Chains A and B, each alone.
Chain A
Amino acid sequence: MVIVLAFLTGGLYACGLYMMMRRSIVKLIMGLALLSYATNLLIFTVGGLTRAAPPLVPEGETVPPVPFADPVPQALILTAIVIGFGVLAFAVVLIEQTHRSVGTDDSNNLRGIEGES
């Protein structure tokens, strides 16, 4: 299972980086999203895979029965997903505004402050 997830993570990283190399800024944002998904999957895999053993404490006990899945990576991923969602929402608005003011989604036409001088 780990090997499948490892390849999947690698594939997602590759796709994300490829998308970021494209000139279209829409694809750039999609690449960034893929990159963050790849990272989440990596944390999930590296944290160790334990199937069908949620870390829940049964009624009347103080520790969950072993073996149980490590909850920390899942908590990290949840946090990362939330942050990623916020950043992505902002990025979408940003490219929308940029597209409106520049009139293109080709990153070659973005000159920034150098374009002024």
Chain B
Amino acid sequence: MKATEKRHAAQSLILLTATRYLVPILLLFSLFLLTRGHNEPGGGFVGGLVAGAAFALYALAHTVHQARLLLRFPPRTLIGTGLLIAVGSGLVALLFQRPFMTGIWSAVELPIFGKLGTPGIFDIGVYIAVLGVILQIIFELMEE
């Protein structure tokens, strides 16, 4: 394991400390972007990118292996799940006799999330899929 040794040698205290504070903040920020996305600037795509950045930072500071452990699911599974959620949210409209992907809104108002509706679910799907794609690419490249 030459590569891991080298990486340990390159670990800097500043990066490690900064990561400890930045990763939770970035993840929270990504969720913030996700929850407001269907009504205001933001959304699943940027949210997923920010969350991807958080995990990428963690992988830089520690190792890819540890970042994979932190993520718990393989990125590929995230891509598949996210895509299925996104398609599923589009299919809901068919139950209401509307064309595919028509936004269906419920009357339920959640505290932070705002009005519950299929565009919000679509955003969640996009968030997960984008996170998966970004990490799939970054982890593969870092493990080269």
Which of the 9-residue segments B21-29, B101-109, B136-144 touches chain A?
B136-144
Give A2 to B124 CA distance when docked, in angstroms: 39
Q: Is the interface of B mostly helix, strand, loop or mixed?
A: helix
Which residues of the other chain, B, contact A86 by a CB distance below 8 angstroms? 133, 137
Per the bound structure, the CA–CA distance linking A29 and B54 in Å amounts to 28
Is A96 touching B144 in the complex (CB atoms < 8 A)?
A: yes
Main secondary structure of the interface of A (DSSP, over half): helix
Measured CA separation A93–B139 after assembly (Å): 12
Q: How many A-B residue pairs have CB under 8 A?
A: 9
Which chain B residues border A92 with CB–CB below 8 Å?
141
Minimum distance in angstroms from A23 CB to a CB of chain B: 24
- Which residues of chain B from 107 to 144 have a CB within 8 Å of any chain A CB? 133, 137, 140-141, 144
CB distance from A117 to the nearest CB of B (A): 32
> Which residues of chain A are within 8 angstroms of B137 by Cβ–Cβ distance?
86, 89
Residues of A within 8 A of B140 (CB): 93
Beta-carbon contacts under 8 Å, A15-58 to B: none
- Residue in B closest to A96 when the chains form the complex, CB atoms: B144
Q: From A54, which residue of chain B is reached at the shortest CB distance?
A: B41
Interface residues of A in 90-107 (CB under 8 A from B): 92-93, 96
Q: What B residues does A96 contact at CB under 8 A?
A: 144
User: Which of A's residues lie within 8 Å of B, judged by CB?
Assistant: 86, 89, 92-93, 96
